[in-house]
Structure 1
Amino acid sequence: MTQRFIVVISVCLLVTGCASDSFHYGSIGNTRSTSSSPKTKSIPSSGIHRVQSGDTLFSIAFSYGLDYRNVANINGIDSPYVIYPNQKIRLRGGPKSVRKVTTTRGTKTVSTPDESVTKNSTEKVNSSSRSVSTVNIPDQKVSVWRWPIAGSVTKSFSNAGVSSKGIDIRGKDSEHVKAAADGVVVYAGNGLIGYGNLVIVKHNDVYLSAYAYNDRILVKEKQSVRAGDSLAIIGGKGSERPLLHFEVRRDGQPIDPLKVLPKQ
């Protein structure tokens, strides 16, 4: 009887843990942030990403190291970049296909939209599915960059391999992670393996910045932020706390953040 009671209690604890809200309040022991390092995923052999709940076009492009504009173009998705759960997003290829049309004057080549792209980009898998992303992108230039936290860099940028696409910065307990420049939040969640609770801010058509390993997210997607606004509470990775992983992408490609940040 005692053994059965213990099993019931264990199941209840497991269910309670699964029901917690980790979207804006991540637990310190989050396995997504401790099991691996941030990395750029390899494009699947199919060349297709199936949209999961919580994905945005920006987070999908970010995870594969792609320019969101190219991904949008390939799939015929226009601003404000609406996508849906279970939608197929093509990660490579072109937006158009060429076909031959026979007319009374002979055969001519006509460039038409790829039917599979049109179908994939407009199809709603379920009429009740909520849109994952409807974001308007700011068009201002980034005139000034600022450090997201004040601290020393413990890990430098490297373009070798699939990791080290940003820098790690040592911070202070309960420190607020700040926006490095004006922009709009295009992703706030923990769906990218190795990044933990992650915030991505789009500054314009060229630049975006990413803030990972957060203990708690303070902003929501589609929220406009100014440089210096609080985005999250600093967290860490494993025993490395408090620590922030910070990335800057230019045209979808990671660059060394130290090349745009002011000298400390």
Structure 2
Amino acid sequence: MIVVEHLKRILEVPKLLTGKVSSVLLSCLFLTGCAYDSFHYSDLDPYSSQPSGAKVQKVPSNGVHRVKSGETLFSIAFSYGLDYRNVADINGIDSPYVIYPNQKIRLSGTPKPRSVASSSSSTTASKAVTKNSKAKVNSSTKPVSTVKVPDKKVSDWRWPVSGSVIKSFSNAGVSSKGIDIRGKEAEHVKAAADGVVVYAGNGLIGYGNLVIVKHSDVYLSAYAYNERILVKEKQTVRVGDSLAVIGGKGSERPMLHFEVRRDGQPIDPLKVLPKQ
């Protein structure tokens, strides 16, 4: 209204503005308003730039993964669709699976005798820390993760959120290895079974805020695209405990991407979850 009143005063000035000039001014004002609307992005979905789907990464051509700050042995194996036990054996890493930033993790190969492999792994990790002591990621010798895996069998599976499946499991190619479940706004994502949190972060490409829970030597579950994570690594959880606040990807909200791995391999979660 202030702008309109100001414009009226300008147009009342005689001899300075003709009808044609007034029309030009009105047109400019209209175009300016349109331009403002065109470049006003405050209402855009902040999650619309996330990757379109969770994917299993291809193993690098050299078969080696260099550990980044925040990663765990479980998250590394998970991202490549591998069994963490095999990765641990290949690299001679014993429970509680201590790894260090910048350490080289071999993703394929023949496991060496434990005594030799453990010594080799410890030496490699020590050299990596010493060599890169000036780097920020290796500012200390604190390990990335030391997680003890639960040893009991999974006896009770429950749905992480209550809702319908909007995307089914597919084992084709490297696409999504889980299911997408429609949830409710601000709903809490629950642990599908007893276990321990072995990863809680957003370092895996295509998974957003991700929580990985280890239930036994065999089973592992993953909860992706969360709005907010409520647990920390090494935290023991019981079935039904809250892990995160449901989020989503792009316009698919609220939604949870849920995966189950058996011996490192993705399986259809519907094979273990009870019927709704």
Tell me which of 171, 182, 189 is aligned to 2:201. Answer: 189
Of structures 1 and 2, the one scoring higher in RCO (CA 8 A, sep 6+) is 1
1:167-182 equivalences in 2 (<5 Å): 167-182=179-194
Distance 1:209 1:152 in 2: 18
Question: Aligned residue for 1:17?
Answer: none
Letter in 2 for 1:54: G
Provide the aligned length of Structure 1 versus Structure 2. 223
- Using structure 2 for the length normalisation, give the TM-score: 0.76
**1:46 maps to 2:62:** yes
Distance 1:64 1:140 in 2: 25
- Which shifted more, 66-75 or 113-122? 113-122
**Aligned-partner SS, 2:87:** helix
* C-alpha distance after superposition, 1:28-82 (max 9, x if no partner): 7357x72231011000011110000000000000000000000001111101111
Tell me which of 114, 121, 124 is aligned to 1:120. Answer: 124
Question: Aligned residue for 2:219?
Answer: 207
Instruction: Specify which structure has the higher proportion of helix.
Output: 2
Question: Aligned residue for 1:64?
Answer: 80
Question: Is contact 1:188-1:200 (8 Å) kept?
Answer: yes
1:42-191 equivalences in 2 (<5 Å): 42-96=58-112, 113=117, 117=121, 119-121=123-125, 123-125=127-129, 126=133, 128-191=140-203
- Using structure 1 for the length normalisation, give the TM-score: 0.80
- Structure 1: which 5+ runs fail to align? 1-27, 98-110
Question: Is contact 2:57-2:80 (8 Å) kept?
Answer: yes
**Aligned-partner SS, 2:210:** strand
Question: Aligned residue for 1:226?
Answer: 238
Question: Aligned residue for 1:108?
Answer: none
Letter in 1 for 2:219: Y
Cα deviation for residue 202 of structure 1 reads 0.1
Cα deviation for residue 119 of structure 1 reads 3.7
Letter in 2 for 1:77: I
Question: Aligned residue for 2:46?
Answer: 29
* C-alpha distance after superposition, 1:75-96 (max 9, x if no partner): 1110111111100000000122
Cα deviation for residue 120 of structure 1 reads 3.0
Identical pairs, percent: 77
Cα deviation for residue 117 of structure 1 reads 4.9
Question: Aligned residue for 1:12?
Answer: none
**CA-atom RMSD in angstroms:** 2.0
Question: Is contact 1:95-1:114 (8 Å) kept?
Answer: no
In our comparison, the structure showing a higher alpha carbon Rg is 2
